[in-house]
Structure 1
Amino acid sequence: MAGSAQPSRAQLGSDQSASFRPYVAADQSPAEFTAKAVVIGALFGLLFGASTVYLGLRAGLTVSASIPIAVLAISVLKRLGGSTILENNIVQTIGSAGESVAGGVVFTVPALIFLTPYGPEYFRYFQILMLAAAGGLLGVLMMVPLRRALIVKEHGVLPYPEGAACADVLIAGERGGGLAATVFRGLAVGALWKSLSWILQLFRTAVGYSMARTSFFPNATVDLDISPEYMGVGYVIGPRIAGVMVAGGVLSWMVFLPLLTILGSHMSDPLPPVPASGLRIDQMSAQQIWSAYIRYIGAGAVLAAGIITLVRTLPTI
């Protein structure tokens, strides 16, 4: 009706929270925090944490492991005598927490290493371990007060698509089905591809071409690497985000790199920030120019994106 007042965000969240009925009723007490759930969750945390570090350092991007861990938890615990949905949830929570901590480390410590003069000397295994432990502890402590504000009161308002999808996976696993078959098939294909190309070196997956310094686009470089991790990440993030990443690569290697090469050919002194080698740009290779200058532009872009995202999410905090 025209002129009628629309329900506020707080009223909408309160109404939907009040009408929500959990899958496991409050008067039920199925097994949850069991030893096998904790141990398997910790093992998944180590496994997916290591894969997150590898993927983050190699591709510059990671994807959440909550849903794969949930699928694997259902499959593994079923082989160990069965489990409840709450045990499966504990496994995926612990496993995804380990993966999240690893993601926090891989996206901050490398930046601090190459942005600070004494980074390589300071950041040893112990310092990184303490930073990861402090970050994980801080995340848990912050989640205690934020859970009611951002999850309970905002139920039905904030969508949390990944959490909702993970819950659907756990519920589907409770009802039965071969959810893990696709995950294991993908794992087998990736392992086979990596073994043939990387260990046995039966074929090449990386090809590249760099134009000469005297060409119209000096040092313009195109590199392609067809690997399972890249294809998996690209499938998960979708064509839009993948296209943005490709555009960033094109901008770096086919615009900034030739531009810096042209500018450097007219400079008699090294361009600040002066690299440790002390070389001028006209004395550097394409890879050296990227390491000395272009990657700092990328780090600034990542920082700007983080600030913009934080500003956009402030109204929900």
Structure 2
Amino acid sequence: MNENKPFKPYIPADKVTPEITAVSVIIGVILAVVFGAANAYLGLRVGLTVSASIPAAVLSMGIIRVLMRRNSILENNIVQTIGSAGESLAAGAIFTLPALFLWAAEGKGENPSLLAITVIALCGGILGVLFMVPLRNALIVREHATLPYPEGTACAEVLLAGEEGGAQAASVFSGLGIAAAFKFIVDGVKLAPTEINLTLKNFGAQIGTQIYPALVGVGYIVGPRISSFMFVGGVIGWCVLIPMILLFGYDPHPGRPGVEHR
């Protein structure tokens, strides 16, 4: 570990400034609910979630510093920390809990109740915090000058940007408004289709695509490299593997005697 460069926080330990306040906690919880719901919806549809740390940092700066005229970077940091936690918790839930519903659909159990889901998510969040407490000193304090932590660095730059961070919040709200308007047009009043399909009668198949601004946003965030991986994976799955299963059939009970195979 890098012991020669001691960690020096931006705010000295002897300086008293507002940090964990009622305002920061309430705004952080609201952002956590919004980002958690958005990532849960997006993750179940696309198969991945996007980090909410940087958007939460931008919004916290816009709300705390610009709208509420409060000048405390630690308060902004609490807002973005709580706000980004909703995305992490949602990701842990949507990638594990659906298995319980699949088991229930096969008659191997019952659908988990809302209380059970809440307890599971709460336990996961508590375990994450407990693991992070001992790791903070080793991975953040001691290795601050060695490990880049690009996302955390970007959040810090947003918080340090001051008025620039508040101006960037306008872009986030503009994107939110445009996406909401598009969703209302295509799903609310049905003025435009959300799917484009092409039927291949000779092959008994259909090729289609869905039009979602959220997917464009995901592609922009993850970049062309990851987007290309996902695109190729989708093409292989839908245009190669599924037609092969349809053509050759599948064995739902491999190796089980007395079961008729397709």
Correspondence list, 1:255-294, <5 A: 255-264=240-249, 271-273=251-253
Q: C-alpha deviations, 1:158-203, integer Å up to 9, x for none?
A: 2111011001000102677512121112112111111111111110
Letter in 1 for 2:240: V
1:173 paired with 2:162, answer yes
More moved, 246-255 vs 172-181: 172-181
Correspondence list, 1:160-309, <5 A: 160-173=149-162, 178-212=167-201, 215=203, 219=205, 221-264=206-249, 271-273=251-253
Letter in 2 for 1:240: R
Q: Normalised by the size of structure 1, how large is the TM-score?
A: 0.74
Residues 176, 224 of structure 1: alpha-carbon distance in 2 compared, 3 angstrom cutoff:
closer
Letter in 1 for 2:9: P
Count residues in correspondence.
Answer: 256
Residues 114 and 120 in structure 1, CA contact (< 8 A), matched pair in contact too = no
Give 1:94 shift: 0.8
Give 1:14 shift: 2.0
Residues 57 and 77 in structure 2, CA contact (< 8 A), matched pair in contact too = yes
1:63 paired with 2:50, answer yes
1:49 paired with 2:36, answer yes
Who is 2:131 aligned against? 142
**2-side partners of 1:66 and 1:60: how far apart?**
19
Q: Aligned with 1:223: secondary structure?
A: strand
Who is 1:35 aligned against? 22
**1-side partners of 2:109 and 2:214: how far apart?**
27
If asked which structure has higher relative contact order (CA below 8 Å, sep 6+), I would say: 2
Who is 2:75 aligned against? 87
**2-side partners of 1:50 and 1:115: how far apart?**
24
Who is 1:296 aligned against? none
Who is 1:74 aligned against? 61
Q: C-alpha deviations, 1:14-38, integer Å up to 9, x for none?
A: 223x1x4322122211110111001
Q: 2:85 aligns with which of 97, 100, 109?
A: 97
**1-side partners of 2:90 and 2:166: how far apart?**
31
More moved, 73-82 vs 252-261: 73-82
Who is 1:305 aligned against? none
Residues 56 and 83 in structure 2, CA contact (< 8 A), matched pair in contact too = yes
**2-side partners of 1:176 and 1:84: how far apart?**
14
Residues 169, 273 of structure 1: alpha-carbon distance in 2 compared, 3 angstrom cutoff:
farther
Residues 94, 261 of structure 1: alpha-carbon distance in 2 compared, 3 angstrom cutoff:
same
Residues 128, 118 of structure 1: alpha-carbon distance in 2 compared, 3 angstrom cutoff:
farther
Residues 113 and 119 in structure 1, CA contact (< 8 A), matched pair in contact too = no
Residues 84 and 174 in structure 1, CA contact (< 8 A), matched pair in contact too = no
Q: Percent identity?
A: 46
Q: C-alpha deviations, 1:74-94, integer Å up to 9, x for none?
A: 111232241400000001111
Residues 183, 108 of structure 1: alpha-carbon distance in 2 compared, 3 angstrom cutoff:
same
**2-side partners of 1:72 and 1:54: how far apart?**
20
Who is 1:127 aligned against? 116
**1-side partners of 2:31 and 2:9: how far apart?**
26
**2-side partners of 1:36 and 1:120: how far apart?**
43
Give 1:224 shift: 1.1
**1-side partners of 2:118 and 2:158: how far apart?**
32
**2-side partners of 1:146 and 1:77: how far apart?**
30
Give 1:280 shift: 7.7
Letter in 1 for 2:91: G
Q: C-alpha deviations, 1:237-295, integer Å up to 9, x for none?
A: 0111111111111111111111112212xxxxx72149xxx9986xxxxxxxxxxxxxx
* Structure 1 unmatched ranges of 5 or more: 1-9, 265-269, 282-317
Residues 181, 45 of structure 1: alpha-carbon distance in 2 compared, 3 angstrom cutoff:
same
More moved, 178-187 vs 82-91: 178-187
**2-side partners of 1:199 and 1:256: how far apart?**
35
